[in-house]
């Protein structure tokens, strides 16, 4: 029995190496965190557009929310001869090992959208200006607040995602002075209240707040947190409320919960990604804004950088990001606030989406 098992395992290892050896060689490997979130499907579609134009062979693999799958993906790409790997990590710190394995093989590694932390093996970072994403959310809430004592509910992304820190600090840059002067009153975070007089939060302070109000980038977590918050909130903590939601998926879940509460008379809620479902929510007045991150630019920047590297040219960068070990040279793209007022001009007239994808435009 044991012998048969050993034979079967050996055979499957042989078959795997055989198929890797005969699988098509790739020049550039792309690893994305999951197929299950609309944000990353936008990136795939935009990568497909740029891949069609390039003479190099490119392969896109998904990690499906698992650092183990992510590592296997990187190993597969290494085995297939990739010379550049573009990776958007599921877990910023856990991805360091995969990056180091690639680096040891002489492969250039580009972090895509999410910065990989805790390693010096990373070469470049292609990203949106994520602090400005958070600032745009904070500014939107600030612009709509009248008088003092406006109830503020804070939500954040996943602790394993460096972007969650950048988004929150960005929003805090705008909101903290307005919390300190009484314009906003935090209703759902003891940790944020603890630091309400501190503008520049340390990584530990941010982690304490994010840990308390995290959605984990998960719609269901967002929904149950919002429900729990509204269950304990007094009627006086409701009325017209202001909600910092970290992205579109979680914004829709949180918005649905607030909309269903009879004591919430009006709500302002943020988001980001310009997901189609949220664009429809904005048109219908169920989500107040989104931050549009043009994935056409990000995908093109990442591919162009990969091509420059393949052709022995030095990529141009315009920023740098500290990944807790080294400053990583970065190429950064600005973002645009979208509300009902400009949804058509920014997202339809620019050709990003078709008008026929929406009703009531
Ligand atoms: C991305 C966001 C996205 C979130 C959840 C972040 O790292 O920057 O665009 O909504 O992850 O996937």
Mutation pick for ligand 1 pocket among 132, 161, 246 (CB with most ligand atoms within 8 Å): 161
Asked: is 2-122+295-333 a CATH 3.40.50.2300 domain? The reply is yes
For ligand 1, atom 6: residue with the closest CA = 163
What residues contact residue 165 under an 8 Å CB cut-off, 6+ apart?
Answer: 203, 206, 207, 210
Q: Which atom of ligand 1 is nearest to the CA of 248?
A: 10
The values of phi and psi at residue 265, to 5°, are: -90, -30
Q: Is 113 in the pocket of ligand 1 (CB under 6 A)?
A: yes
Q: Quick one: pLDDT at residue 24? A: 85
Q: What is the pLDDT of residue 7?
A: 54
Phi and psi angles of residue 264, each rounded to the nearest 5 degrees, phi first: -90, 115
Q: Ligand 1 pocket test: which of 273, 277, 290 has the largest number of ligand atoms within 8 Å of its C-beta?
A: 273
- Which of the listed residues 65, 217, 298 should we mutate to test ligand 1's pocket, taking the one with most ligand atoms within 8 A of CB? 217
- Mean pLDDT throughout 42-63? 94
Read off the pLDDT of each residue in 222-232 and give the average, rounded to a whole number.
98
Ligand 1 atom nearest to 33, measured from its CA: 12
In tens, the pLDDT along 163-175 reads 999 999 999 999 9
Residue 1 pLDDT: 52
* Mean predicted confidence (pLDDT) in 76-96: 97
For ligand 1, what atom is nearest to the CA of residue 113?
Answer: 8
CATH of 130-292+338-357, one of 3.40.50.300, 3.50.30.50, 3.40.50.150, 3.40.50.2300: 3.40.50.2300
The pLDDT value recorded for residue 20 is 46
**What is the number of other CB atoms lying within 10 angstroms of the CB of residue 34?**
17
- The Cβ-side half-sphere exposure at 284, using a 13 Å CA radius, reads 13
Taking only the tens place, the pLDDT of each residue in 346-356 is: 999 999 999 99
Is residue 37 in contact with ligand 1, taking CB distance under 6 Å?
Answer: yes
Distance between Cα 76 and ligand 1 center (Å): 25
Each residue's pLDDT tens digit, 96-123? 999 999 999 999 999 999 999 999 999 9
Considering the entire predicted model, what is its pTM?
0.93
- Which residues of the chain form CATH 3.40.50.2300? 2-122+295-333, 130-292+338-357
Lowest mean pLDDT among 12-21, 93-102, 140-149: 12-21
Separation of alpha carbons 260 and 12, rounded Å: 53
């Amino acid at each position: 029995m044991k012998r048969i098992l050993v034979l079967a395992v050996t055979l499957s290892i042989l078959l795997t190496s055989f198929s890797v050896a005969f699988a098509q060689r790739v020049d550039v490997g792309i690893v994305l965190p999951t197929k299950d979130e609309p944000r990353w499907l936008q990136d795939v579609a935009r990568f497909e557009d740029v891949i069609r134009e390039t003479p190099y062979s490119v392969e896109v693999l998904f990690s499906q929310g698992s650092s183990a799958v992510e590592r296997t993906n990187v190993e597969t790409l290494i085995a297939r001869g990739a010379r550049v790997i573009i990776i958007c990590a599921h877990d910023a710190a856990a991805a360091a090992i995969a990056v180091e394995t690639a680096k040891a093989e002489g492969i250039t590694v580009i972090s895509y959208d999410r910065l990989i932390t805790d390693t010096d093996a990373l070469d470049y970072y292609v990203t949106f200006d994520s602090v400005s994403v958070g600032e745009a959310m904070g500014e939107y809430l600030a612009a709509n607040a009248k008088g003092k004592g406006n109830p503020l509910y804070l939500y954040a992304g996943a602790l394993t995602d460096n972007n969650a820190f950048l988004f929150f600090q960005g929003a805090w840059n705008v909101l903290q002075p307005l919390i300190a002067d009484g314009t906003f009153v935090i209703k759902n975070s003891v940790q944020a209240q603890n630091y309400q007089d501190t503008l520049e939060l340390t990584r530990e302070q941010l982690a304490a707040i994010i840990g308390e109000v995290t959605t984990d980038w998960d719609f269901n977590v967002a929904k149950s947190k919002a429900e729990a918050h509204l269950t304990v909130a007094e009627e006086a903590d409701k009325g017209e409320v202001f909600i910092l939601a970290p992205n579109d998926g979680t914004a829709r879940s949180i918005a649905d919960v607030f909309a269903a509460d009879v004591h919430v008379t009006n709500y302002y809620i943020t988001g980001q990604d310009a997901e189609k479902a949220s664009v429809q929510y904005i048109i219908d007045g169920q989500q107040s804004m989104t931050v549009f991150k043009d994935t056409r630019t990000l995908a093109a920047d990442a591919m162009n950088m990969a091509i420059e590297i393949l052709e022995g040219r030095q990529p141009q960068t315009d920023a740098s990001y500290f990944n807790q070990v080294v400053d990583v040279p970065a190429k950064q793209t600005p973002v645009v606030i979208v509300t009902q007022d400009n949804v058509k001009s920014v997202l339809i007239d620019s050709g990003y989406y078709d008008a026929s994808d929406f009703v009531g435009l």
